[in-house]
Amino acid sequence: MSSTNGSAVLPASSYTVRRLRPEDAAGVTECVRHVYGDSYCHPEIYVPEQIIKLNKSGELVSVVALDADGKVIGHYALERAPNGEIAEEGEALVVPEHRHEHLMERMRSLLEEEANALTLRGLFGRAVTNHIFTQKVHDRFGLRPCALSLGVLPRSFHNMADPLPQRMSLLLGFKFLQPPSRVVVHAPNWHKAMCARIYDQFQLAVDFREPGPIDGPGRLAVDFSKEMQEALIRVQEVGTDTAAEVSQAHRDLCNTGGVQAIILELPLAQAGTAELCRSAEEDGFFFSGIGPCFASDGDALRLQFLNIELDIGLLQIENPFARELVAYVGKERARATRAVSCAS
Task: For residue range 109-141, list pLDDT tens digits in order.
Answer: 999 999 999 999 999 999 999 999 889 989 999
C-alpha torsion angle, residues 6, 36, 106, 12 (rounded to 10)? 10
- Domains of the chain, earliest start first: 12-176 (3.40.630.30), 183-343 (3.40.630)
Report the DSSP pairing between strands 16-19 and 60-66. Answer: antiparallel
Q: In what order do the strands lie in the sheet with 86-94?
A: 16-19, 60-66, 72-79, 86-94, 122-128, 168-176, 144-153, 286-295, 298-306, 261-267, 230-237, 219-225
Coil vs helix vs strand at 92:
strand
Average pLDDT over residues 290-314: 96
Cα separation of 187 and 185, whole Å? 6
Which of the four pLDDT bands, split at 50, 70 and 90, describes residue 195?
very high
pTM for the predicted model, two decimal places: 0.90
- 8 A C-beta contact, residue 279 and residue 266: no
- For residues 165 and 130, the answer to whether their CB atoms sit within 8 Å is no
Looking at residue 340, what is its pLDDT? 59
The dihedral sign for the CA sequence 152, 155, 158, 164: positive
